[in-house]
Amino acid sequence: MALSFLLSAALGAGIWFLYPPASPAPFVLFLFVLSFFRDFERKTPSDPDAFVSPADGRVTEITDVTEDTYVGGPAVRIGIFLSVFNCHVNRTPWPGTVEYIKYFPGLFLDARHPDSGPKNEANALGLRDDSRNVKMLVRQVAGLIARRIICTAKVGDRLEKGQRFGMIKFGSRTELYIPKDRVGSIAVKVGDAVYGAKTILGRLK
């Protein structure tokens, strides 16, 4: 779908050059949308204990919570806000087998709002790594502008650290839940810019 959109947009851009409208606004909008769908090759850190960011954006929350849907108990939640200027591809923070996927209908509050995580439309993906006996949950949360969550992973898939598994179209939020008793250290703080598959968020015990 994204490819067909880009091809259509490219054709539109060609027509714009041949027959430029009175206002440059359509072409500026085209460039903005084209930049939104950009994707980058990323080198994942080799540190075997490090879990990495599942998205590009800015850390807005590091909180102790209880996560009962998949982690099953106390967890550390790291919330990342993705503005419309960030790359919106989601990546796995840790290697593992997809054990849980669930879609949650909901609202479309601004993704910076503290209630957006539990109340907005979301998709949750649970990963289990038997070699380290650890589970992690990634939630893709829609925002005020984002109205389409894409998750290409399926239950039973084996995903490597930093592997792409979906995206959220336009401004949104991505949350990572790690079992609290497995968190050895957190390497980021609220306000830090992070990059999917590249930035180390913390390390396991």
Q: What are residue 11's phi and psi, to 5 degrees?
A: -60, -40
102 touches 122 (CB < 8 A): no
Helix %, strand %, coil % of the chain (to 5): 20, 40, 40
Query: Residue 3 CB: number of other CB atoms within 10 A?
Result: 8
Q: Could you list the active site residues?
A: 172
Question: Hey, how many other C-beta atoms are within 10 angstroms of the C-beta on 100?
Answer: 15
124 contacts 90 by C-beta, under 8 angstroms: no
The amino acid at 45: P
- Integer Cα distance of 58 and 201 in angstroms: 12
